Structure 1
């Protein structure tokens, strides 16, 4: 019985290519002589670059490096075909094939490793990268290709985010300054497109986008689609991120969760979406919100009596009013004597809703009122409520 035995050839690809070239007449003696002349020079240069050309271990390592880098170049250009590799070696100098690999590895090293803006280096290869080149100069083809594929994917996500942000009027420098994730930019851009927004949102507008998506009429027709003019090289990266937004929709569309709680307080969502930090816009929005709440609670009244009436109601846990009837005032006093006052509730209401420029004055007024009135309001001796009602008529708004 005839058996065929496959032998594993662990020689560097360069050596295999040379052997093939000699055996099949692709490489002549002149070419072999040129390689033998160039190789020692290249070894010395590499040893000097990474350490010292005067140490034998460094020269041995340099030999491994130059052979490995030439092998990388030949494998990439030939696709593993020995004949093509031999022809390539015949048409180019040995030193140039080493340099070609060095250039490829340097380009790899400076490619982004992380999709977080602000965490990647800018500029080309420099001396600080030499230790990394020392490592990668000994890598095999599979390791190089795996790392290249990974970094290319990262680069595509970053470039896609920059492209989509630019479409919404935001420059790459703004993303760097924000220090956000590229995926977060893409996610928000997709939500903006789904709600027909033409600019990258700030926090206020982002909340409006979510509110729009949560409308019953919108939830059935949410179109999370990549822009039609998105460059082809970015489509795969954007599609992967788009799928993550689809997975998020269950929580995004849950009206029971406020935007603040979901996007700023839920660990899995913090930093997952992007919005432009615009402090002035947020303050203005906050001012409008607090102004509306204050106006509604006070009914537009700003006199001390109306405000003290409101604060007293809030401190007892009652419905806020700026005018009490005699009967309501009496009920309020009895409630105070039974359950006490939580004066901090009124203070918190003032801090949360009153115009900022008046908050200190309102708190002082409230605390002064409590200091003077609390004993009378809580006194069990005034069982007919005469003193307490008289106090409220004088300080608050109590109708006849």
Structure 2
């Protein structure tokens, strides 16, 4: 340690110019400044000489072994750098303040201060993706990472701190917004999405006066509403920062809000269905968030199917009404569950001209029939086609008597 105080070093960059620079560690500069200006007394210098070897051994043991000279040499470099990091950061590069810090506090406490700074940095989130960050602070498994950082410059530390601080701001802001919509940190971790995606969706949901984070069904409806409302003027959409947003989150949320405002005209102008746009288009995949609720999606799907089925069947479930519907579909006619005599004649003539296409009715049953009855309806239709297709299409039935008799027997034919 007695070699730490040295004079300024000279770098000759060319025969014509001489540039002076001081490449010593900040600790060394602060120590020399303190001695020269009477800030650091003899007792403190003696304490540093006593503590430094102890610190070197502790650091060497922590990162390797104290029994190898290379490890001890590296430990000395780490210790000096840790003290330098702490002093230069906490004193904003002011040598006078740094010298006072050395005088008023033990040398090892300044080394520990630098170590604590780096441990806190390593424990900060590196990514805004929920589910990919570690929790629980600094752990033994982080020691190899700490070993690298103990030799880093203040500039490197500050750059990494700025980056991780921004990530922390984004994730904390996303968590605050999610909490306004009924989601907690554990649910976000389980969802495993980017904080920016959570913020974009939360801003949309809050602007629409929603009280819960949307699942896919609600998100799809939200997109449909936006497309309908702003189709003619997508650039007029206004998304404000939520009321009550803490001041420390405003800059981070506003930056994400600007990306949302940039996205919205493209979303509204797109002709793609919402699912394809947000799940299969590279520009939007993972960019927005919705709660994955399979039960809700199945329920919505079934209710959608039910609406289509109910509309087509008119609420009728008897075999005659359903067969009338299926025959109409297979003929390529307007789906009906009741035919007049005249409509029945027209239907048969169309069948004789264009043919019967059982697959059309089969596809409709498969897509829209209630789950509990789908197989029964498919079987009923298959048997109907097998038994009656020949009669419906027969060229020998010139007056359509057999075909009409069949329809009266199997289907709904009114006056």
Say whether the fold is shared (TM-score over 0.5): yes
- Distance of aligned partners of 1:372 and 1:231 in 2 relative to their CA distance in 1, 3 Å threshold: same
Note the alpha carbon deviations across 1:309-339, whole angstroms, 9 max, x for none: 2122223433212233455445544554555
Output the CA distance in 2 between the equivalents of 1:47 and 1:384: 106
Question: Can you list the C-alpha shifts for 1:121-168, whole angstroms capped at 9, x where unaligned?
Answer: 111211111111111111111111111111111111111111111112
1:355 is the counterpart of 2:374: no
Q: Which residue of 1 aligns with 2:156?
A: 143
Q: Would you say the 8 A contact 2:230–2:268 is kept in 1?
A: no
Relative to structure 1, is the Cα distance of residues 285 and 87 closer, same or farther in structure 2, using a 3 angstrom cutoff?
same
- The answer as to whether partners of 2:230 and 2:237 remain within 8 angstroms in 1 is no
Please point out which of 78, 83, 87 is paired with 1:70: 83
Is 1:237 paired with 2:263?
no
Give the stretch that moved more between structures: 57-66 or 169-178: 169-178
Which residue of the other structure, out of 182, 188, 207, is the alignment partner of 2:201?
A: 188
Residue 124 (str. 1) matches residue 137 (str. 2): yes
Deviation track 1:276-323 (CA, whole Å, cap 9, x = no partner) reads 233443333333322221111112222212211212222343321223
Whole-Å separation in 2 of the counterparts to 1:387 and 1:282: 47
Could you tell me which of 26, 43, 53 is aligned with 1:30? 43
- Aligned residues between the structures: 398
The 10-residue stretch of structure 1 (289-298 or 143-152) with the greater mean CA deviation from structure 2: 289-298
Superposition pairs for residues 25-174 of structure 1, below 5 Å? 25-174=38-187
- Alignment gaps of 5+ in structure 1: none
Distance in 1 separating the partners of 2:161 and 2:371: 55
Moved more, 212-221 or 371-380: 212-221
Match of 2:285 in 1: 270
- Mean CA deviation greater in 306-315 or 262-271: 262-271
With structure 2 as the length reference, what TM-score do the two structures score? 0.88
Supply the distance in 2 between the matched residues of 1:345 and 1:147 (Cα, whole angstroms).
62
Are the equivalent residues in 2 in contact too, given 1:214–1:255 (CA < 8 A)?
no
The alignment yields a C-alpha RMSD, in angstroms, of: 2.4
Following TM superposition, by how much is the alpha carbon of 1:386 offset from its aligned partner in structure 2, in angstroms?
4.4
Contact map agreement 1:113 1:120 (CA 8 A) in 2:
yes
The change in CA–CA distance for 1:4 and 1:17 in structure 2 (over 3 A counts) is farther
Secondary structure in 2 matching 1:5 = strand
CA contact (8 A) 1:117 1:182 kept: yes
Structure 2 unaligned residues grouped into runs of 5+: 1-15
Find the residue that maps to 1:243 and give its secondary structure.
Answer: helix
Secondary structure class of the residue paired with 1:7: strand
* Counterpart in the other structure of 2:222: 209
1:195–1:213 contact (8 Å) kept in structure 2: no
The one-character-per-residue Cα deviations of 1:167-213 (angstroms, maximum 9, x if unpaired) are: 12222222122222211221111111211222222223223322332
Rate the CA distance shift 1:340–1:100 in 2: closer, same or farther, 3 A.
Answer: farther
Contact map agreement 1:298 1:307 (CA 8 A) in 2: yes
By how many angstroms is 1:383 displaced? 5.7
Aligned mate of 2:312, from 281, 297, 302: 297
Structure 2 distance, partners of 1:255, 1:398, is 46
Asked whether the equivalents of residues 131 and 190 of structure 2 are also in contact (C-alpha less than 8 Å), the reply is yes
Q: Would you say 1:318 and 2:343 are equivalent positions?
A: no
Between 132-141 and 319-328, report the one with greater CA deviation.
319-328
